[in-house]
Structure formats: C-alpha cells, structure tokens
Structure 1
Amino acid sequence: MPNEHPEIQGGGSLILAWQIKNKEVLVIGGGEVAAGRIVNLLNADAKVTVVCPRAGLNEEVAYRVERKQVTHIDRVFLPLDLEPQKNVAMVLTAIDDPDASSRIWKYCKKLKVPANIADVPPECDFYFGSVHRDGPLQIMVSTNGNGPRLAAAIRRQIGDMLPEGTGESIKKVGELRRKLRRVAPGKSTRDINKRMGWMSRVCDSWSTDDFNAMDETDMQALVEYYESGRVPSFEDIRIKPQDDVVWEFDGSFGWM
C-alpha cells in the first residue's frame, strides 16, 4: 500500500516568524553586516542595543545611533552586557574576530540566550534568510547557511512573480477578518471554524485585484453574506440596488 504521508527530509531548519516586538536584542559590531541585521530588527519593532567602539560604526549604523533608533554602547562586548536584569532575548554578532565571536557564542549558550554568529553556521542557534517584504507580506528564503547570495537571487525571482499590489490585498484581508469578528464574535470552536472556513473560501474565490479594489462599503456588503454561508463574487457586491424610478406620463403613449 503506497505511503500517503509526507516523507521526512532531514537537515532543514524550523522556519518561524519570531515575534520580538519590544524585546531587548544585543547586536555586537557596527559594520555592514550589523547594519543589515539592525534594519531587520527595527522592522520587527525590537529594542536594539549596539555594542561597538564608535570608530567601528559604519555610516548607516552611525545614522541609526544619531537618530536614537538604537542604543549605543561605545566599547567592545563585556559579559555585563548580558546580565540577567537586562532581559536580552537575542544576540547577534558581526565582528571580524572569530575567536571573540566563539567566546561570545559559548557565553550565550551558558546563559541560554539564542545567538547568531555571522558567517559561522555551526555557531548559530538560528539563521537569517533573504526576505521579500511588501507591507504585511514577508517571504523568507533560507539556504540553512549554505548560500546567502543564492537565497537573495531566489528571493528576487519570487518577488518578481507576485502580482502587483499583493501586500495591499493582504491588508484588506486583515481588515475584513477584523470586521467579520465584530459581526460574528462567537468564540466556540464551531464559531471559529465557521469564520475560518468562510474566509478561506473568500480568499480562494477572490483575486488580488478584487481585494485591491474593495472599499469599506464593499467590505460591509461582503460580511453580510456570512450568515448565509454564501461567498459572492466581487461583481455581486458591486451591484447596487436600483433607485426607485418615478414614471411621469405625458400622454405620449396615447393614453387618455
């Protein structure tokens, strides 16, 4: 009998969307690699502290420091930077000193703080991938540390294939989901499954262009179909009731 279950392919990573909003992240180093890491962290609303002598900051990192987008500690890393009361959730190193990087990694392992040591895959608890970003849409391509440049090329190819306005469509879907929860606020498993099932059918039936063109009135008209279980087309909800027509007869039909 053929196996109907997925085959296991070992050697991969568990790809997650790590929520670090308002969490403390320590970046050690201030060069080009650190600059890229900082952008990713700030886009995820993390609280970033950069440990690096001021002379080692490149133009972009110095700009982040000047704008107070990050906190800067003007020296090399010291163990006190990871004192428990600082609640550091993650450490990223991007320095040109392999021995120092390894010592930092071992110290992080001792404290059970997840760490990424730039360009040293065996000393990484997690990897950065190449990310396509369009509003709320994020698509990450990871080569598990084998080929970052190739990951970037693949990411660009994927981005080029996506329909224009995909990110805006996803925003509209989020707004629609929130509106639906207000209209049908039930919290039982049955209620949740019904909402999810109906939303799935809407997403399967409507195109990116449909969601882009949807306005507040269209959204309200759409959720009114929820109780019936029907999923209308975009054209259906755009059909407006005809205004009442008042006929005026002037006798031209030959009526008396």
Structure 2
Amino acid sequence: MASHISLLTTTDARSHIHLIVAEAEVHYALQKRIDTDEVKWVKKSFENNDALTLGRADLAGVVDAVFVTSGPRDPQSAHISSFCKRNRIPVNVVDSPQLSTFSLLSTHTDGPLQIGVTTNGRGCKLASRIRREIAASLPQDLGAACSRLGEARRRIQEEDHLLHSALADGGELDDSIDQTATFNKLVTEADLDAAKNRRMRWLSQICEYWPLKRLAAVSDEDVEGILKSYEGINAPESIGRPTGKSSPLANRGRVILAGSGPGHPDLLTQATHKAIQTADLILADKLVPSGVLDLIPRRTPVHIARKFPGNADAAQEELQQMAIAGVREGKTVLRLKQGDPFIYGRGGEEVAYFRQHGLGDRVVILPGITSALSAPLFSGIPATQRDVSDQVLICTGTGKKGKPPSPPEYVATRTVVFLMALHRIAALVGELTEFTDVEKGVVSGEEQSTTTTTPPKRALWPRDTPCAVIERASCPDQRVIRTTLARVVEAIEQEGSRPPGLLVVGGACEALYQPEKGRSWVVEDGFAGMEIGDQQLDLALGSLNGTAIPA
C-alpha cells in the first residue's frame, strides 16, 4: 500500500489538509472526511513541488507541515524528510523520530483546557494510554472552570487597566457613581500599583493553591466574588463567607485550631482528620496542601486565606471575623493551618484574639507535625545526631512587618531550621555570616563609634557551613537543594523557588550525605511516597532525578 502524505495549511478560520495518495480507494473513515470537505484528496504521487505550492498565498504557497504515514523503511520517507528539512518545513514521519522534526501529541481537550502527551515516537499507544489516565484523574468540569477563571482574568486586567489609567492620568471616573470616602485621598504610585495588582494576585493564589476539585466547582457567582474582592481591602467580600444574621452564642458553636502537617495527608493526626470530616465551616491557610484539602467533604463550605505580601494582616483579620461569626451561628469552625499551629502559625495570636471576644472556652487546639522537624527527616537530614548535632533551633527568617529578626550565633553542634526565609535568602545569609549594621554601630546609614570597646561577641557562621533548602516537603513535587551558605543564594536564583520551603543549616546536613567534590549544589526532585500497609511500613524516602551543578 502506498504511503499517505498529508500537507497541512492553517488559517485563522480552519485547517486545510491535502491528502496526496495515488490509490483508488482509501479507508472509509478517511473517505468520510473527504466527503465532508475536511480533507482534499489529491490522487497522484507526491512531488517536492507539492509542499511548495499547496500552502497559503501569504506564505508563497509553502505548506505549514507535512505528515508521512509510511515508516522509516520506505525510501520515500527519508527523501521527503530530507527535502522538508532543507526547506525548513516541519515534517513528521510515523514511527520515525530520526526523520521527524516534531512529534504528534495524544491530546485531551475540554473546552479551553488542552493536555498533550508524547513519547517522541517511541510508542503512540502508550502515549494514548497515559493521556487517558491523566484525563480520567481530573475532576469533571475543569474545562468550564478554565473558561470562568480565564474570563475573570480578562475582566480584572481590563478593569484594573482602565482604573489605573484614569487615576494616573488625572482622568474623571463616571460621575453617575457615588464618590467613595477615599475619593479625595492622595493617590501615590505605590497605591496605584497595589490597586492594579491586588485582584490579579488573588486570582493567582486561587489557581496555585486551591485543589483541582474545588477549582472545577467554581461557579459564576464565585467568579463575581473574585471580581468584587479587594475593592475595599479592609472589608472585602469573600467566597464562602458565612451568611445569615449573628445570633447569641450557641451551645455547640466552637473553634478548632488544628495543624495539617507538612503536606502529605497521611501525616494528619486522627483528631484533625475527624475535625475535617465533621466541621460546619473550614477556614484554611493558603499553604494547606491540596492533598489535605481534598479530604474535605463537598458539602462543607471552605474559605482559603487571601494572604499575599502586603495583605497578611487584613487576610488574618478576615478569617478571625469569619470564625467568630460562625461560632455565634452555632457552627463548628475549623481553622486549618499548615504544620503545627503554634510554630510560626499565629496560633497563639488567634487564641488570644478569640479570648478577647469572649470565646476562650470555645477554642480547641489540635497539634500538627511541623515541617521544621519533618522536612529534614524526609530529606535524610537528622536534626540531632551524636557527635554531629546536639541541639535544634527553629527560627523565622522574617520578623514582624517584614523586619529581619536577630540572627542566631554559630554553634558547631547546632542545627538551625529557618522558616519563612527563602524570599530574603541573600539578606539572611549576609546576617549569618557578617555582623549587622546594629552590631557594627551603624545608625541611619552613618558609621558611629560604639559606646564600648568590646567587639561584637556573636560567633559568625562560616560560609562553607552545609545547608539544604527543602521545598514542599512530603508532597509529590518535593525538592531538596543541598549546598553551602556560600552558594545557596546562587542556587536558589538559578533553580527558582517552589514554596513553601525552609532552610536547614548545620553539620547535620551532611551527617548522612556525602557531597560530591567539585559540585556547588545538588538538586533532588520528588518524594518517592509513603505507603503504610497492614503488615509492613514502606517509607520510601529519598530523591528522584537528582542533578548536580558543577562548581
């Protein structure tokens, strides 16, 4: 049987396919497309000039792509491939990666959502199987959600651009709209940027942190809620806000403050899992992993914190007010936090807040596994080990209102875990390895002599101290970057960020790991899994696809 050679030409309206084959008959499915004018059958043998004349006029007749159905054994396949390559025409020869300049994808299409899988010519059936498995694992209506969120993105861009232009140019807004209380407030450039980007950043948070099941369930009403969000940052409308009038404190109303652990849903405590299944309302921090959020029953309203730089306090206040409203309606409200609620999770602040509002006896606190201790474990770093580390210090890399906290001094037998530090890693490394301006007696940018002749006593960290960046611990996309304080900034800049993450510093980072000579850093991707069977514990720790960076 002669090979089928298809020439593809695309336009804005549709694709045009010329099928060149000299056979008297073709497959019935192909004949059906010919009959409906989807394919034009050119009954002759292929000639080189066909690829140069059957295309669009604006490309001087050159076609957009050539497809050849014969395999590598057909001499004509090699000839067509060579001709197309010489003329810069994309060509695909079936089962012949070496003769092809592009691969065909096995595609899944759901509205604007398109997913393609290719094995680069090594197995089209396998690609089809993988594509089906991926598509089957996705929640229904995800394509419709893409449409809704895409429309929200378009409208946000359009509305914020118009608002920014009107304010920046001194233009007048529609005078049919009532003036707000801040109409005459001085608008600075920083205010304009914040107003322009606030809703877009919130939409990005939704796409990044919401579980796919919840994204797929996004409704038109949810989209309108997104569009109205942060028109007033102090009192924003919210998706999932409890409705109804507040009532006197009901007998069963309470707040459960619980930690969701580092990421893997199997690391939840049984108490927290029960709370997830039975709560009337769940108020979750944005970094609670999707695997945990997927455990929430579909009937349970969920609100995910709208925290991003510059809005953390407002988002925190919003969640606390929603919790109080829920308790006063007699609901069991679960405040779901990442890790442990009392380890840099504002858990103590929330308890104090609820006490100030008369709910002290309505608060239940459930612990969680903190990433500060579990993330090193999942990376093969023993936080303590005899003759290596006899103490662990958990620090924050960012103080209140973004100010840097006092850096810890160097102790050779200490393991230090820094949370919330990767976004300012360069400054942190500088604070650990050099004396700060305060220690050097620098005030307002001018050096002044200190009142004492005693030099600073804080021991500085050697720049060759081993360290590790651990991101998304216990999640499928866990990543570990092993390096030293001298190279960690460069490593993060080159490899990028995958929050949430933390930094581990100290000799323990090399207690069970031998660094390769001549390597500046090593990247280890993937969490192999954690499966607990009835008779055995298969705790598969380690890394997949480890890569090393030369010095």
1:150 equivalent to 2:126? Answer yes
* Equivalent position of 2:239 in the other structure: 234
Alignment of 1:72-87 (within 5 A): 72-83=41-52, 85-87=60-62
Structure having greater relative contact order (Cα 8 Å, sep ≥ 6): 1
Out of 69, 75, 95, which is 1:94 matched to?
69
Q: 2:26 & 2:244 partners in 1: Cα distance? A: 60
1:159/1:110 CA distance change after superposition, 3 Å: same
SS where residue 102 of structure 2 aligns?
Answer: coil
Q: 1:175 & 1:122 partners in 2: Cα distance? A: 42
Kindly indicate whether the alpha-carbon contact (under 8 Å) linking 1:205 and 1:233 is maintained by their aligned counterparts in 2: no
Which shifted more, 170-179 or 221-230? 221-230
Alignment of 1:7-86 (within 5 A): 29=4, 45-53=14-22, 55-83=24-52, 85-86=60-61
Out of 141, 145, 158, which is 1:169 matched to?
145
1:93/1:225 CA distance change after superposition, 3 Å: same
1:203 equivalent to 2:207? Answer yes
Q: CA RMSD in A?
A: 3.5
* Equivalent position of 2:112 in the other structure: 136
Q: 2:77 & 2:39 partners in 1: Cα distance? A: 21
Kindly indicate whether the alpha-carbon contact (under 8 Å) linking 2:153 and 2:200 is maintained by their aligned counterparts in 1: no
Q: 1:56 & 1:195 partners in 2: Cα distance? A: 59
SS where residue 153 of structure 2 aligns?
Answer: helix
Kindly indicate whether the alpha-carbon contact (under 8 Å) linking 2:116 and 2:131 is maintained by their aligned counterparts in 1: yes
Q: 2:35 & 2:69 partners in 1: Cα distance? A: 20
Kindly indicate whether the alpha-carbon contact (under 8 Å) linking 1:49 and 1:70 is maintained by their aligned counterparts in 2: yes
Deviation at 1:56, TM superposition (A): 4.4
More strand by proportion, 1 or 2? 2
Q: 1:195 & 1:55 partners in 2: Cα distance? A: 61
SS where residue 44 of structure 2 aligns?
Answer: coil
Deviation at 1:47, TM superposition (A): 2.5
1:93/1:220 CA distance change after superposition, 3 Å: same
Deviation at 1:115, TM superposition (A): 0.6
* Equivalent position of 1:115 in the other structure: 91
Kindly indicate whether the alpha-carbon contact (under 8 Å) linking 1:172 and 1:211 is maintained by their aligned counterparts in 2: no
1:70/1:110 CA distance change after superposition, 3 Å: same
Q: 1:64 & 1:229 partners in 2: Cα distance? A: 56
1:193/1:219 CA distance change after superposition, 3 Å: closer
1:117/1:82 CA distance change after superposition, 3 Å: same
Kindly indicate whether the alpha-carbon contact (under 8 Å) linking 1:142 and 1:151 is maintained by their aligned counterparts in 2: yes
TM-score normalized by structure 2? 0.33
Please tell me the residue identity of whatever aligns with 2:69.
A
Kindly indicate whether the alpha-carbon contact (under 8 Å) linking 1:49 and 1:73 is maintained by their aligned counterparts in 2: yes
Q: 2:46 & 2:23 partners in 1: Cα distance? A: 13
Kindly indicate whether the alpha-carbon contact (under 8 Å) linking 1:131 and 1:155 is maintained by their aligned counterparts in 2: yes
Deviation at 1:46, TM superposition (A): 2.6
Please tell me the residue identity of whatever aligns with 1:234.
I
* Equivalent position of 2:526 in the other structure: none
Deviation at 1:161, TM superposition (A): 1.1
SS where residue 24 of structure 2 aligns?
Answer: helix
Please tell me the residue identity of whatever aligns with 2:67.
L
Aligned residues: 203
Q: 1:90 & 1:232 partners in 2: Cα distance? A: 51
Q: 2:98 & 2:197 partners in 1: Cα distance? A: 42
Kindly indicate whether the alpha-carbon contact (under 8 Å) linking 2:225 and 2:238 is maintained by their aligned counterparts in 1: no
Deviation at 1:54, TM superposition (A): 5.4
Q: 1:239 & 1:228 partners in 2: Cα distance? A: 19
1:109/1:234 CA distance change after superposition, 3 Å: same
1:179/1:211 CA distance change after superposition, 3 Å: farther
1:110/1:201 CA distance change after superposition, 3 Å: same
SS where residue 71 of structure 1 aligns?
Answer: strand
SS where residue 86 of structure 1 aligns?
Answer: coil
Gaps of 5+ in 2: 54-59, 166-192, 246-551
Kindly indicate whether the alpha-carbon contact (under 8 Å) linking 1:136 and 1:170 is maintained by their aligned counterparts in 2: yes
Give the % identical residues.
28
1:99/1:197 CA distance change after superposition, 3 Å: same
Kindly indicate whether the alpha-carbon contact (under 8 Å) linking 2:142 and 2:216 is maintained by their aligned counterparts in 1: no
Which shifted more, 119-128 or 170-179? 170-179
1:202/1:209 CA distance change after superposition, 3 Å: closer
SS where residue 38 of structure 2 aligns?
Answer: coil
* Equivalent position of 2:347 in the other structure: none
Deviation at 1:214, TM superposition (A): 1.3
